[in-house]
Amino acid sequence: MREVYKIMDPSEIDESCLNEIYSDIADLLGVDAALKFYGNFRGQQITFPVKFFTKEFIEAQITKEYDGHNIKQLATKFGYSEKWIRKIIKEKTRKEE
C-alpha cells in the first residue's frame, strides 16, 4: 500500500469519495477494511465463487447431518438442489459398501 494511504486516518475518509467497489466494501465492512483490500488487491480482477464452502466440506456435512428424511432441509440449508443432495448421499453409500 502506498505510504500516503497508511498515514491517513480511516475515520477522516468519506465513503462517497471512494471508487465504486471500495465504497461498497467500506459500506459493508468499514473504511479500514476497504483500505486493506486496496492495499492487497488493487489493480487485480477478483471473482468470488457463488458458493461459500468447498464441495468437500459440503459433502462431509451432508453425510454427517443426513438422517434418512431431511433431504429438503439439507438442500435449503446448503443452497443445493435436492437432486444433488441425493446424489451425494448415494455416492457416499456406494463408497461405504
Per-residue pLDDT of the chain (97 residues; tens, 9 = 90+): 445 466 677 777 888 889 999 999 999 999 989 988 888 888 899 999 988 899 899 999 999 999 999 999 999 999 999 999 999 999 888 877 7
Return the closest-CA partner of residue 18 out of 46, 37, 44, 40. Answer: 37
Q: Domain residue spans in the chain?
A: 3-41, 55-96
CATH topology of domain 55-96: Arc Repressor Mutant, subunit A (1.10.10)
Rg of the chain over Cα atoms, rounded to whole angstroms, equals 21
Cα–Cα distance for residue pair 43/23, rounded to 1 Å: 16
Cβ neighbours of residue 33 closer than 8 Å, sequence gap 6 or more: 25, 26
pLDDT of residue 94: 83
